[in-house]
Amino acid sequence: MFTKDSIIGVVGCGAMGSGIAQVAATAGHKTIVYDSNAAALERARTQLEESLAKLVGKQKISAEKASEISKLIVFTGALADLKVSKLVIEAIVENIEVKQSVFRQLESVVTEHCVLASNTSSLSITSIASACSRPERVLGIHFFNPATLMPLVEIIPGIATDMVIANHCQALVNSFGKVTVMAKDTPGFIVNRVARPFYSEALRIYEEQLADMATIDWAMRELGGFKMGPFELMDLIGHDVNYIVTETVWKQFYYDPRFKPSLSQKRLLEAGFLGRKSGRGFYDYREGADQPKPLKDEALGKYILNRILCMLINEACDTLYLGIASATDIDLAMTKGVNYPKGLLAWADEIGLAQVLVSLNALYDEYGEDRYRACVKLKQLVKQGKLFY
């Protein structure tokens, strides 16, 4: 279906759209980037040249390759220019009405053989596709930020998506040098669903005053092997992004308490303390600001790690139980999409599923909240004496 001559269209020239365009062009595809904002297009063009120059400076690519990539990317303010595309990937604001409007416009421009994809991280692909007269050619192709560096891409067919098209798209993205996983169209897909407890349970522990943010981050980094602690990572992602994804997933799961957002994070968002990008978040990044020191209590650290890890494992287990993705794809998604030190289901096997269940049941007994209910599949595997692998 796709060849090296297949032209890729990208709608939106922000960080994600520009990154996706660079990935496609690096793989040898002519890529057309559309945005209605002329100033944004000019910025994107400049940033692309700067990005390529840095890669040359670091000897990641040759000057000739940089020139080739640059020539393959065309920036345009005319939507009609996307007519020659074989695949168009939308990477704009996370708003369902806006996306549906764009997909309606795209369908009136592209050929009948063009595939339409959304880079949404949490919105329903089926809902986006419903705006089109041919929803069978619409799917999700979710790159992670920054698209040029992060290896994982989630492929998400909607209910109406033709699976032949989804499989061809997966093969195409694999040819970009990416690692792909296939996920069912449910809120958050794999990564943004399974990762919620990394933030939410850390926030719960913090709000309960069981440990401060520096101590929680220390425990997850030093004892758990995570590259960043949850508060550091939320500050890096930005609370305008991280909180909104949490809230979106929570609402789409009919307010399931497992996904309940945190007031502490919401207050930061309301104050404009978005994290590193604004100079303040959970931590203060302004020049000369004092940074809190962790309490390096190993017993407390092990409690923090075990509590957050068991909640993550439980969510991964539920994702498998409900047929969102295979065990292999779930573990691949978490290691390649958010750099977890181990796949969560493999990690659960290593810890012992019975021990994970004991920890979850203890939390459920203590709090009496549905948030801590153990996944049925976890209970079944423990009863049967089986593992995930």
Q: What is the pLDDT of residues 100-109, one digit of tens each?
A: 999 999 999 9
Q: Do domains 8-182 and 193-384 have the same CATH topology?
A: no
Identified catalytic residue from 90, 154, 232, 315: 154
Q: What is the pLDDT of residues 243-296, one digit of tens each?
A: 999 999 999 999 999 999 999 999 999 999 999 999 999 999 999 999 999 999
Identified catalytic residue from 6, 118, 192, 262: 192
Element housing 351 (H / E):
helix 344-351
Q: What is the pLDDT of residues 28-71, one digit of tens each?
A: 999 999 999 999 999 999 999 999 999 999 999 999 999 999 99
Amino acid 122: pLDDT: 83
DSSP letter for 340, please: -
Percent of the chain with pLDDT over 70: 100
Two structure tokens written together for 349: 């096997």
Distance, in Å, from the CA atom of 120 to the CA atom of 141, rounded to the nearest integer, reads: 8
* Residue 122 annotated in active site: no
Identified catalytic residue from 29, 142, 239, 359: 142
* Residue 121 annotated in active site: yes
Task: Name, in order, each residue with C-beta under 8 angstroms of 76's C-beta and a sequence gap of 6 or more.
Answer: 32, 33, 34, 41, 82
Q: Topology of domain 8-182, per CATH?
A: Rossmann fold (3.40.50)
Two structure tokens written together for 89: 């990937």
Identified catalytic residue from 18, 51, 119, 121: 121
* Residue 154 annotated in active site: yes
| Average predicted confidence (pLDDT) for the chain | 96
* Residue 192 annotated in active site: yes
Question: How many CB atoms are closer than 10 A to CB 46?
Answer: 10
**pTM (two decimals):** 0.94
Element housing 163 (H / E):
helix 163-175
Distance, in Å, from the CA atom of 150 to the CA atom of 12, rounded to the nearest integer, reads: 19
CATH 1.10.1040.50 fits 193-384, yes or no: yes
- pLDDT average, residue stretch 172-186: 97
Structural domain boundaries of the chain? 8-182, 193-384
